[in-house]
Amino acid sequence: MGTGLFITGTDTGVGKTLVACGLAALLRESGYKVGVMKPAETGCEERDGKPFPQDAYLLKEVSGCSEPVEKICPYRLRDPLTPSMAAEREGVKIDISLLEKIYGEISSNHDITLVEGAGGLFAPILPSYTYADLARLLKLPLLVVAANRLGVINHLLLTLEHASCRGLSVLGYVFNRLDAQPSLAADTNREALLSLTAVPYLGEIPYIEDLESQRSSLADLFGERLDLGSLEAILPRG
């Protein structure tokens, strides 16, 4: 079985899919066989009468993962809600043992498998089962994506503290800019965090308006912007 990494965020809409795709592209270009998994995707639009998981599809395309999108994303739900609530509204029961089985199958065929959560660590997959529980079950270290804006210091520190309380290892955090406009908060957040956490800062991704249009350049961009030194411990050695 290959190694794995769980990509979470400080909130929904902070750029988890962007970072997961960029990291997948970079690892693929570096010669690794990259697997991807999005256990549940909500807010899926209809295509041919079925919910289409856009994030999972992008992960598949960028990573070169040969697994079908139905396996990469076992639960594809229509309502833009937390997976637990979206599944309940559709009469779907999310099976954690199935997610564990699928992760094992994907991981066994790849050097590294990136698992992207939904929302943050506290987002429930089942009424009393969160993504933190899933990361712990799969024995995966975390990479935390944080929107670099006013308020991120509190959001990030709460996420890191929760991970620590759950016994989860955090390899580092990545800032993502959600706005092209200059921001004093965004320019100073990194400095403020230096004395507040020892978790490694891996870099910042600049504002990207359209992920689809940037697919071909993601590997170069992430190679320039991210310091992946802390990830070397989980990468397979050639």
Say whether 38 is catalytic: yes
Q: Which of 33, 38, 60, 71 is catalytic?
A: 38
> What is the Cα–Cα distance from 230 to 144, expressed in whole angstroms?
13
Which of 175, 193, 182 is CA-nearest to residue 14? 175
DSSP summary character for residue 226: B
Rounded to whole angstroms, the maximal C-alpha distance in the chain is: 52
Structure tokens at 40: 């549940």
Structure tokens at 36: 């991807």
Total number of residues shown for the chain = 238
Packed helices 152-165 and 184-193: angle between N→C axes, nearest 10 degrees: 30
Q: Evaluate whether 143 touches 202 at the Cβ level (below 8 Å).
A: yes
Q: Evaluate whether 193 touches 153 at the Cβ level (below 8 Å).
A: yes
Residues labelled catalytic:
38
